Amino acid sequence: MEEYKRLKRELVAKGAIIDYYQDTMLIPNGNVAKWDLIDHKGAAAVVAVRDDGKLLMVRQYRNALERETLEIPAGGLNGREEPTDRAAARELEEETGYTCESLELLSSIYTTVAFCNEKIDIYLARHLKPGKQHLDEDEYLNVEAYTLEELKKMVFDCRIQDSKTICGIMTYAAKYC
């Protein structure tokens, strides 16, 4: 494969969750192109399975879509160096109130490879223990539980469209059911 070379990277905007850059790239045919890059510190998500086999889900409003979504618990890393299993355990407890004995890595995904470097590690949590939610000040969500079959039907009916959630549910189904 021929070489691509970054000639320049300019910060266009710095946000609370992401930073937006514009790269000037020399592409193999000799042309120069401007490419957008959304820089994200990473995230972790959890497929949380109760002892009765139901999966914990969170229903929350998503501003980008202007509607509520049904998702697996997830959240951003506190910094690039934070271990994703620690972030997954934290998000599970913050969003659902549950803790778990151990986490197993199910999958790692890059959400939008054309212009974003966000990576989400998705974990499986079992042997859950109920506790108390610790939501962030700007978070409001409902915790719901569904069977795997109900969730797969929602994926196939396009009622669940969130990529990390689809990947988590379907990877869990393929590996363990």
Tell me the catalytic residues: 137
In whole angstroms, give the CA distance from residue 151 to residue 106: 17
Spatial CB neighbours of 91, under 8 Å, sequence gap ≥ 6: 44, 45, 46, 73, 74, 75
CA dihedral 89, 95, 97, 101 (to 10 degrees): -20
In whole angstroms, give the CA distance from residue 5 to residue 28: 8
| CB-based contact 168:92 (threshold 8 Å) | no
Q: Decide: residue 77, CB within 10 A, 0-12 exposed, 13-18 middle, 19+ buried.
A: buried
Helix (H, G, I), strand (E, B) or coil at 33: strand
Strand-strand pairing, 43-49 and 55-62: antiparallel
